[in-house]
């Protein structure tokens, strides 16, 4: 293989890795996620994502405050808690599966795209 072809291949590979994090955040539709959040999550996490929903205020431990942008679980065990993959696993399997509160129930019955949309919307609380 010629040098220019190898360099092009390496450039393409590098661009793929550089754009991968952007693709992970682009996977969900925040507008659709908002509707799902209001239906499924608002009662605990609150309209503004602070964990102060009508049910959430009575829970111990309280629901996660999404406005802080701090996520506890490294569910995929890659050393980086709070990535989209971690949120997907927690939403799918519930927080108890990762040492968290059983009050954060599993939502694996939602379609995968719906869960991606929820993640995109949850990310909007922390600007």
What are the residue ranges spanned by the domains of the chain?
A: 28-124
| C-alpha to C-alpha distance for 105 and 83, rounded to whole angstroms | 19
Q: For the chain, what is the mean pLDDT?
A: 86
* Model pTM above 0.95: no
pLDDT digits (tens, 9 = 90+) for 32-52: 999 999 999 999 999 999 999
Domain 28-124: assigned CATH number: 1.10.760.10
Separation of alpha carbons 121 and 66, rounded Å: 10
Residue 21 pLDDT: 45
| pLDDT classification of 127: cutoffs 50, 70, 90 | confident
* Mean pLDDT along residues 78-94: 97
Round to whole Å and give the CA distance between 78 and 31: 29
Nearest to 84 by CA among 14, 17, 21: 21
What average pLDDT score do residues 7-29 get?
A: 51
């Amino acid at each position: 293989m010629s040098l220019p072809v190898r360099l092009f291949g390496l450039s393409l590979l590098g661009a793929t890795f550089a754009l991968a994090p952007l693709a992970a955040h682009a996977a969900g539709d925040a507008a659709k996620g908002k509707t799902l959040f209001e239906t499924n999550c608002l009662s605990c996490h609150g309209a503004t994502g602070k964990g102060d929903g009508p049910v959430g205020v009575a829970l111990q431990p309280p629901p996660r405050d999404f406005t802080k942008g701090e996520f506890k679980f490294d569910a995929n065990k890659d050393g980086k808690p709070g990535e989209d993959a971690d949120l997907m696993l927690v939403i799918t399997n519930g927080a108890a599966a990762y040492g968290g509160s059983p009050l954060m129930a599993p939502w694996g019955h939602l379609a995968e795209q719906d869960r991606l949309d929820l993640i995109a919307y949850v990310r909007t609380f922390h600007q």
